[in-house]
Amino acid sequence: MLLTDSHCHFDFAAFGPDSGTERAEHWLRAQAVGVHRLVIPGIEAAQWPTLPKLCAAHNGLYYALGLHPWWLAKAESALEKTNSGLANAALDWPSELTAALERAKDDPRWVAVGEIGLDKHLPLALEQQEAAFITQLKLAIEYQKPVIIHSNGTHDRVLKWLRRYPVIGGVVHGFSGSRQQAETFWQLGLHIGVGGTITYSRANKTRQAIAALPIEALVLETDAPDMPLSGFQGQPNHPTQLPLVLSALAALRQTDEANLSLQLERNVERLFGW
């Protein structure tokens, strides 16, 4: 069975330094269990020039470019200092992101705008987060790319902006919410990212939502090295765990793993235009 990890932070230090063989060895381990593609989401400006190079060095790696809400405060602070004359050179992140997307527009490894979104647990005001989210939704529309969305306690607000700025598709990463919310995302063309959350019995609401959705709405992910599966708490997550997510999903939906994997591959291919 061939599987695609639709959300893996494979450029993080947990997978080794940028130079050397360690990262390549991690990728070989993933391929050995059937993971033949993964998408690396962009989270901050420092990645925007490096992700294309990483993905060009390894077959099967693809990338997204975006500014994650967790890194937004840093970028906004730099921009404010620049505008007030308190710094000689700092990041104007909207311009830098636009330039990065323009450089990537002919690269087949660039598949999405993301990781973008909202997080109610951040100290940064939601209004500021929403302004950045809207900026990036507009860029996704301009470049006709799907989005990879981070939504933590903000599903209804994210849905509000998706209705106002309809993108061509995307995925709600690490979904944790109700069946109604999941169905509404799917109605707007957003797939639901299924990862380690469904391996926890306490995540009953999310498990019920995933079990009830059309299979066409789902894609697999690990969020490695984060979001460890049940039984692996305290250990770095890894794309080699993706078959365990598939097994958990097959058990939850009471279906055959082989047929399920084929449908999930069709879903992710449709989503990212492969």
Question: Confidence band (pLDDT; 50, 70, 90) for 123?
Answer: confident
Reported confidence tier of residue 74, pLDDT bands at 50, 70, 90: confident
Half-sphere exposure of 244 (CA within 13 A, CB side): 17
CA atoms within 13 A on the CB side of 2: 10
Mean pLDDT computed over 228-238: 96
Q: Please, which pLDDT band fits residue 153 given cuts at 50, 70 and 90?
A: very high
Q: What are phi and psi of 112, to 5 degrees?
A: -165, 165
Q: How much is the average pLDDT of 67-90?
A: 64
Reduce the DSSP state of residue 264 to 3 states and report it. helix
**pLDDT over 60 (residue 72):** yes
- The b-or-e profile of 73-102 (16+ CB within 10 A means b, else e) is eebbebbeeeeeeeeeeebbbbebbeebbe
Contacts 24+ apart (CB under 8 A), 166-169: 166/141, 167/137, 167/140, 167/141, 168/140, 168/141, 168/144, 169/271
- The larger pLDDT score, comparing residue 124 to residue 246, is at 246
Please tell me the distance from the alpha carbon of residue 148 to that of residue 238, in angstroms, as a whole number. 19
Set out the domains of the chain in order of their start, with CATH numbers.
3-12+34-272 (3.20.20.140)
One-character DSSP codes across 68-130:
-HHHHHHHHHHHHHHHTTS-SS---HHHHHHHHHHHHTT-TTEEEEEEEEEETTSSS-HHHHH
CA–CA separation, 66 and 85 (whole Å): 26
* Band (77; pLDDT cuts 50, 70, 90): low
**Would you give the distance in Å from CA 21 to the centre of its chain?**
25
pLDDT of residue 85 exceeding 80: no
Average pLDDT over residues 180-197: 97
Read off the pTM: 0.93
pLDDT at 75: 77
pLDDT at 18: 73
Mean pLDDT value across residues 79-97: 63
**Cα separation, 67 vs 47, whole angstroms:** 10
As a whole number of angstroms, the distance between CA 193 and CA 198 comes to: 11
Rg of the chain's alpha carbons, rounded to an integer? 18
Mind giving me the DSSP string for 132-168? HHHHHHHHHHHHT--EEEEEES-HHHHHHHHHHS--S
Q: What is the pLDDT of residues 7-43, one digit of tens each?
A: 999 999 999 887 678 999 999 999 999 999 999 999 9
The number of C-alpha atoms within 13 Å of 266 and in the hemisphere containing its C-beta is 9
Rounded to the nearest 5°, which phi and psi values hold at 215?
-60, -25
Distance CA 4, CA 142 (A): 26
At 163, list the tokens: 């209705």
Residue 221: name the closest of 12, 23, 39 by CA: 39
